[in-house]
Amino acid sequence: MESKQAITALAALAQETRLAIYRYLIQAGEAGVAAGQISESLHLPAATLSFHLKTLRQADLLLCAREGRSLLYRVNYAMMNQLVAYLLESCCSNPPTAFCLTDNLISTDDTNLSDKESFMSNNQAYNILFLCTGNSARSIMAESLAQHWGKGRFNAYSAGSNPTGEVNPLALELLERLKMPTEGLRSKSWSEFSAAGAPHMDFVITVCDNAANEVCPVWPGQPMTAHWGAPDPAAVQGERIDKMQAMREAFRILENRIKIFTSLSIQGLEKLKLKEKMDEIGNTHPQAES
In degrees and rounded to multiples of 5, residue 159 shows phi and psi of -165, 170
Cross-strand pairs, 16: none
Sign of dihedral through CA atoms 266, 268, 271, 277? negative
- The catalytic position among 64, 91, 100, 216 is 216
Note if 132 is an active site residue: yes
Note if 92 is an active site residue: no
Distance from C-alpha of 165 to C-alpha of 160, rounded to nearest angstrom:
9
Note if 91 is an active site residue: no
CA 147 to chain centre: 19
Q: How many CA atoms lie within 13 A of 41 on its CB side?
A: 21
Contacts of 4 (CB under 8 A, 6+ apart): none
- The catalytic position among 64, 92, 100, 208 is 208
Distance from C-alpha of 279 to C-alpha of 226, rounded to nearest angstrom:
6
- Positions marked active-site: 132, 208, 216
